[in-house]
C-alpha cells in the first residue's frame, strides 16, 4: 500500500513561494485508482512526487510501511513503482521485443513477449521485431508502453493522462486495455485522467483541486458530484456567453 502523509510541494517564483501541493494525505490500496480534477490542480506534480521525479518539500511517502521519501526514481522502481511516460524511450536499433524484455527484467520467450502485446490489443507478429521509432503512431507507442508496464508487473503503476493525444478509436481500445488490466494486474493502477470513461472503471476516485484533496471515495460517491459541478459550470458558462 502507498501512503502519502501531509505532502507539500512548493517552488520559488521570483521572490514568492508558490505552494503547488498543500498537506496531501492519502492511502492508495485499491486496485484501480483514478486521480482527477481541474487543470493546474496539482495532479501531475503529485504523480512525479510518487515516482520520485520531484521531491516533496514536506511530508512522507510510505510504500508498504517503508519510508521511501528520500529514494530516487530508480530505487523506487526497484521497490515496485512504475511510471508510464507519455511515450516509451527510443534508441536506435531497439525493437519492441527488446523493450518488453528489458521491462520484464529477465530473458523471455518470443511467445511470452507476444502475449504482452496481445494484451494491449496489438497483433504481436506485426510489432515484435519492429524498431521503436517515429514510424509507430502515438496510439501504438502508448500501447507498447502499457505492455511494458504489464510485463514489469509492479506493485504500483502510474499513468499520467494516458488518453492524451490519441484518437477516439484508439481511446475506445485503451479503455478495454485498462478494463483488462483491472482484472489481470496484481498491484494497484493509479491513473490521472479527465475522462469520465476512465473514472467509471475506477474503484476509487480522488479529486485534486488547488493543490488539495477536494474529494475521495468510490465512483458512486464522487462521480455524481463531479458531474453535477461540471454541469453547473457549463450552465453558468452558457448564461455568461
Ligand atoms: N516547477 C514549477 N514551477 C512553477 N510552477 C509549477 C511547477 N510545476 C508545476 N507548476 C504549477 O503548478 C500547478 C499544478 O501543475 P500540475 O501540472 O501538477 O497540474 P495538473 O493538475 O496536472 O494540470 P492538468 O490537468 O492541466 O495537466 C500549475 O499551476 C503549474 O503551472
**Model confidence pLDDT, tens digit, residues 129-169:** 999 888 888 778 888 888 888 888 888 999 888 887 777 77
Q: Whose CA is nearest to atom 24 of ligand 1?
A: 39
From the CA of 20, give the closest atom in ligand 1.
12
User: Does pLDDT of 38 surpass 60?
Assistant: yes
The residue to mutate among 7, 35, 41, 160, having the most atoms of ligand 1 within 8 angstroms of its beta carbon, is: 41
User: Does pLDDT of 124 surpass 90?
Assistant: no
206 lines ligand 1 (CB under 6 A): no
φ/ψ region of 22 (left if φ > 0, alpha if ψ in -120 to 50, else beta) reads beta
User: Does pLDDT of 217 surpass 70?
Assistant: yes
Please give the distance, rounded to the nearest whole angstrom, from the Cα atom of residue 188 to the centre of ligand 1.
24
CA distances from 170 to 77, 120, 176 (A): 28, 11, 10
Contact 183, 217 (CB under 8 A): no
Q: Whose CA is nearest to atom 1 of ligand 1?
A: 11
The residue to mutate among 14, 38, 45, 86, having the most atoms of ligand 1 within 8 angstroms of its beta carbon, is: 45
Contact 5, 65 (CB under 8 A): no
| End-to-end Cα distance, the chain | 47
Across the beta sheet with 58-63, the strand order is 16-28, 2-13, 58-63, 66-67
The residue to mutate among 16, 43, 164, having the most atoms of ligand 1 within 8 angstroms of its beta carbon, is: 43
Please give the distance, rounded to the nearest whole angstrom, from the Cα atom of residue 42 to the centre of ligand 1.
5
**Among 16-30, 77-91, 165-179, 224-238, which stretch is predicted with the lowest mean pLDDT?**
224-238
pLDDT for the residue 87? 62
Q: What are phi and psi for residue 25, nearest 5 degrees? A: -125, 125
**Among 4-13, 39-48, 183-192, 213-222, which stretch is predicted with the lowest mean pLDDT?**
183-192
pTM of the model: 0.85
What are the strands, taking DSSP E only, across 178-225?
Answer: 188-192, 204-209, 212-217
Question: How does residue 238 score in pLDDT terms, banded at 50, 70 and 90?
Answer: low
**Mean pLDDT within 197-215:** 94
Please give the distance, rounded to the nearest whole angstrom, from the Cα atom of residue 115 to the centre of ligand 1.
37
Q: What are phi and psi for residue 55, nearest 5 degrees? A: -100, 130
43 lines ligand 1 (CB under 6 A): yes
Instruction: Write down the ipTM of this complex.
Output: 0.96
pLDDT over 70 for what percent of the chain? 92
Question: How does residue 118 score in pLDDT terms, banded at 50, 70 and 90?
Answer: confident
39 lines ligand 1 (CB under 6 A): yes
pLDDT for the residue 140? 85
Bridge partners of 207, per DSSP, are: 36, 215
From the CA of 13, give the closest atom in ligand 1.
4
**Grid coordinates representing 218?**
468510490
Contacts for 75 with CB less than 8 Å, ≥ 6 apart: 52, 68
Report the alpha-carbon angle 194-199-201, nearest 5. 145
pLDDT for the residue 228? 76
Q: What are phi and psi for residue 97, nearest 5 degrees? A: -60, -40
160 lines ligand 1 (CB under 6 A): no
Contact 62, 35 (CB under 8 A): no
Amino acid at each position: 500500500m502507498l501512503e502519502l502523509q501531509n505532502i507539500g510541494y512548493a517552488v520559488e517564483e521570483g521572490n514568492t513561494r508558490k505552494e503547488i501541493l498543500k498537506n496531501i494525505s492519502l492511502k492508495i490500496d485499491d486496485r484501480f485508482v483514478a486521480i482527477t480534477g481541474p487543470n493546474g490542480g496539482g495532479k501531475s506534480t503529485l504523480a512525479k512526487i510518487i515516482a520520485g521525479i520531484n521531491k516533496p518539500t514536506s511530508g512522507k511517502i510510505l510504500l508498504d510501511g517503508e519510508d521511501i521519501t528520500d529514494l530516487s526514481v530508480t530505487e523506487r522502481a526497484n521497490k515496485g513503482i512504475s511510471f508510464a511516460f507519455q511515450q516509451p524511450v527510443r534508441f536506435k536499433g531497439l525493437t519492441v521485443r527488446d523493450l518488453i524484455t528489458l521491462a520484464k527484467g529477465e530473458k523471455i520467450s518470443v511467445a511470452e513477449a507476444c502475449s504482452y502485446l496481445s494484451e494491449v490489443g496489438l497483433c504481436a507478429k506485426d510489432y515484435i521485431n519492429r524498431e521503436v521509432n517515429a514510424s509507430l503512431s502515438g496510439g501504438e507507442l502508448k500501447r507498447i508502453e502499457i505492455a511494458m508496464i504489464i510485463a514489469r508487473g509492479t506493485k504500483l503503476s502510474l499513468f499520467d493522462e494516458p488518453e492524451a493525444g490519441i484518437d477516439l478509436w484508439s481511446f475506445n481500445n485503451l479503455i478495454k486495455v485498462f478494463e483488462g488490466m483491472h482484472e489481470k494486474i496484481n498491484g494497484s493502477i493509479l491513473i490521472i485522467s479527465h475522462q469520465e470513461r476512465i473514472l467509471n472503471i475506477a474503484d476509487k476516485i480522488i479529486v485534486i483541486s488547488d493543490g488539495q484533496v477536494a474529494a475521495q471515495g468510490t465512483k458512486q460517491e464522487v462521480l455524481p458530484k463531479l458531474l453535477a459541478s461540471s454541469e453547473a459550470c457549463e450552465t453558468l458558462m452558457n448564461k455568461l456567453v
